[in-house]
Amino acid sequence: MTDMHSKKIKLYVNERLVCSALRYIFLLFPFWGMKSNNDYLYNTKSYKYVYDRDYYELVSQVEYADFILIPHDFWHLKKHYPYVLKEMINEAKSYNKLLLIDASGDISGKINVPGSVVIRINQYRSSLPSNEITVPVPCEDLLETYYADELIIRRKSKKPIIGFVGWASVPSGTQMIRTIMKDLPYRLISILNKKYNAYRKGIFIRKKAVRVFRKSNDVIARFIIRRSYFGCMNSGASDTNENRKEFVNNIINSDYSLIVRGDANASTRLYETLSLGRIPVIIDTECVLPLENLIDYRNFCVFIDHKDMDRAASLLVDFHDSISESRFTDMQREARSAYLQYLRYDAFSKHLAVILRERITINK
């Protein structure tokens, strides 16, 4: 990095406004320690790699800060402590400081806060605000955990083998009714314009993708469909360790891994797949990926537009047939390399710091 970009990003948090009932954000883990969400499994391993303190520091005086940092998830703060959020926004305005907002969860919606920079994962290309920065979803480095950091290269098979383990069935009872009602507006408008299929509930997109690949005779679909998201403590999973191994084995023993959005227009599975050096097949629902100006994702990912879902299997076959054995091998290496150099949070730290430094310069 240049001298300008090598300076630490100075963050200020008004500790008087910290809400003890809310978890603080990922960016504060290096300073305040990891605060896990006990509702979700695998968090400790997912949070092994956090933001690097070489690129950030907390300052005790607001005058020296580059950003006033909101210490909690924006949406949770807005819902439970709106008066605190308002005070934080006013503080940034009064000191003429940029406000750094973390809204990197599944919740969607526009954030209209003047003078803010927003960290997010839930975005769409056609409506991407200029003040938003896309970050990776934190995930466990599965190659490190399960394979001693040794990349296992697959040989190119005659037929493409695509794997998926996860939730891809519509829930029953009252949960099904709620899910259908939330999906209904986009289902109706997508009849007139297929573009809006990108905004539908992820479970319906997943269900269709699974059906398309399963019915093809030219693709080997190794799919294990679960009745719910098994990352939750209350998922009903009987053996979480075995379920996790089943998930990892499915990815490592497949040529490709099916990536479809969840509730947010993002996927933890994408980063888990890259960590294992496998090739994601991304059903592209106008996804915005981190560092797209630096990373050519097409070097190690297959993208299938959501509007072409009915042809997804044949498009994968065409791609698989078009690449050589050596290119197939290179894509696996490049997938792992991109994860290590850019998308694991210890590596991503410096790239986010550069972006934030550029926002500071623009704001002057």
Q: Are 257 and 280 in contact (CB under 8 A)?
A: yes
223 and 269 inside one domain: yes
Based on the fold, state whether residues 93 and 151 are members of the same structural domain: no
Residues 300 and 194 in one domain: yes
Given a cut of 80, whether residue 180 has pLDDT beyond it is no
In this structure, the answer to whether residues 187 and 282 fall within a common structural domain is yes
Residues 355 and 338 in one domain: no
Q: What is the pLDDT of residue 45?
A: 73
- Asked if 73 and 103 count as a contact pair (C-beta separation under 8 A), the reply is yes
Whether 235 shows a pLDDT value over 50: the answer reads: no
Distance CA 79, CA 88 (A): 15
Whether 331 and 351 map to the same domain: the answer is: no
pLDDT in tens, 37-88: 554 455 567 778 889 999 999 999 999 999 999 999 999 999 999 999 999 9
**Are 267 and 298 found together in one domain?**
yes
User: How many other β-carbons are positioned within 10 Å of the β-carbon of residue 1?
Assistant: 12
Contact 222, 253 (CB under 8 A): yes
Examine the domain organization and report whether 330 and 350 are in the same domain.
no
Ranges of H-type helices in the chain: 3-6, 29-32, 43-46, 74-80, 82-94, 142-147, 173-192, 202-214, 240-252, 268-275, 312-322, 325-338, 345-363
Bigger pLDDT: 178 vs 124: 124
Residue 163 clears pLDDT 50, i.e. is over it: yes
Beta strand 256-259 with 220-226: parallel, antiparallel or unpaired?
A: unpaired
pLDDT of residue 4: 43
Domain co-membership, 356 together with 338: no
Q: How far apart are CA 266 and CA 171, in angstroms?
A: 21
* CA gap 146, 166 in Å, rounded: 19
pLDDT over 80 (residue 292)? yes
Range picked from 5-14, 178-187, 274-283 for highest mean pLDDT = 274-283
Q: Report the CATH number that the domain containing residue 184 is assigned in CATH.
A: 3.40.50
Q: Taking a C-beta distance cutoff of 8 angstroms, is the pair 102, 70 a contact?
A: yes
Whether residues 63 and 115 share a domain: the answer is yes
Domain that holds residue 105: 3-136+345-363
Say what the pTM is.
0.91
User: Which pair of structure tokens corresponds to residue 129?
Assistant: 């605000």
What integer pLDDT is reported at residue 36 of this predicted model?
61
- Residue 146 shares a structural domain with residue 235: yes
Q: Are residues 71 and 192 in the same domain?
A: no
pLDDT digits (tens, 9 = 90+) for 319-353: 999 999 999 999 999 999 999 999 999 999 999 99
Total domains, the chain: 2
Q: What is the mean pLDDT of the chain?
A: 90
Please say whether the beta carbons of 312 and 212 come within 8 A: yes
